């Protein structure tokens, strides 16, 4: 697809995110800002090239279109506390951390299983031999990163309790209905009014539990390209703790 067509398609797709109370134009400006970050893109390309040389199946990261939206949302919302489940290669973490660095504020708390507990495919695909969890995250972005190694079923409620208030939550661990729902219910009371909940792979192939949750809570939400679910907690709502 040519550059102008790619931009037009992106703007059209971003338009849908208005449902989650996000300005498509402001998002587009931050996507453009990221496009110009040559050091960041060069690092991702080099890491992927090296990982594919070590293990040709290396993959499993969020699409770079979704990563760019994560970046833009974090730039726009300026969260102080971001929590994510599912690190693997660390693409989503890298995009979020890059935005936090540009914001000059905020911390990302990420949770992933110990590698020995992950399934064989996670080991071969997400974290090839010789590469640790988060291998796509540039060293210069790690100052704002706190990684908890453990099962989100146990670690997520602990992390949420420790941070107190969550400004933005991103689910990208196991996409079963049960896991998605568990994580959203665990984090929801601590999401600040006006805060965002996000999930990757929101589609019938993986799970629509994110959509069900948003509908049950009466949230305005949108799904970007059948992938990234974005829902906003009403600004007046104080979560029950």
Ligand X SMILES: C[S@@+](CC[C@H](N)C(=O)[O-])C[C@H]1O[C@@H](n2cnc3c(N)ncnc32)[C@H](O)[C@@H]1O
Residues of this chain that bind ligand X (CB under 6 A): 60-62, 85-92, 111-113, 118, 122, 126, 151-153, 172-174
Nearer Cβ to ligand X, position 180 or 222?
A: 180
DSSP SS3 for 221: strand
The single residue listed with the structure tokens 């208030």 is 165
Q: Residue 210 and residue 227: Cα distance in Å, rounded? A: 11
Q: How far is the CB of 62 from ligand X (least distance, A)?
A: 4
Specify the residue, 7 or 155, whose C-beta has the smaller distance to ligand X.
155
In the complex, the smallest distance separating the C-beta of residue 155 from ligand X, rounded to whole angstroms, is 7
| Pick from 99, 101, 92: nearest CA to 133 | 92
Burial of 216 (0-12, 13-18, 19+ CB in 10 A): exposed
Tell me the closest approach of the beta carbon of residue 193 to ligand X, in angstroms: 26
In whole angstroms, the minimum distance from the beta carbon of 159 to ligand X comes to 11
Q: Which residue is nearest to ligand X (CB)?
A: 88
Q: How far apart are CA 109 and CA 130, in angstroms?
A: 23
Nearer to ligand X by Cβ, of 137 and 219: the residue is: 137
CB of 89 to ligand X, least distance (A): 4
For ligand X, the closer of residues 43 and 122 by Cβ is 122
Return the number of the residue (69 or 111) whose C-beta is nearest ligand X: 111
Quote the CA–CA distance of 179 and 209 in Å, as a whole number: 9
Are the beta carbons of 41 and 127 closer than 8 angstroms?
A: no
């Amino acid at each position: 697809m040519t550059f102008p067509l790619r931009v037009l398609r992106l703007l059209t797709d971003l338009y849908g995110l208005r449902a989650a109370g996000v300005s498509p134009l402001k998002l587009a400006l931050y996507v453009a800002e990221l496009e110009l970050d040559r050091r960041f893109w060069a690092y991702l390309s080099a890491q992927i090239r090296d990982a594919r040389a070590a293990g040709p199946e290396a993959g499993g990261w969020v699409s770079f279109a979704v990563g760019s939206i994560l970046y833009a949302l974090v730039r726009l919302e300026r969260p102080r506390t971001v929590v994510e489940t599912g690190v693997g290669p660390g693409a989503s973490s890298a995009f979020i951390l890059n935005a936090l660095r540009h914001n000059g504020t905020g911390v990302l708390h990420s949770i992933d299983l110990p590698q020995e507990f992950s399934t064989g495919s996670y080991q071969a695909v997400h974290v090839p031999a010789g590469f640790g969890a988060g291998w796509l995250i540039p060293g210069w972005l790690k100052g704002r990163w706190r990684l908890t190694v453990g099962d989100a079923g146990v670690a997520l409620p602990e992390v949420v309790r420790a941070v107190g208030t969550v400004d933005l939550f991103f689910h990208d661990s196991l996409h079963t209905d049960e896991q998605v729902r568990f994580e959203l219910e665990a984090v929801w009371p601590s999401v600040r009014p006006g805060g965002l909940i996000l999930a990757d792979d929101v589609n019938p192939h993986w799970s629509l539990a994110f959509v069900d949750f948003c509908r049950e809570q009466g949230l305005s939400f949108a799904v970007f390209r059948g992938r990234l679910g974005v829902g906003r907690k009403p600004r007046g709502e104080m979560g029950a703790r």
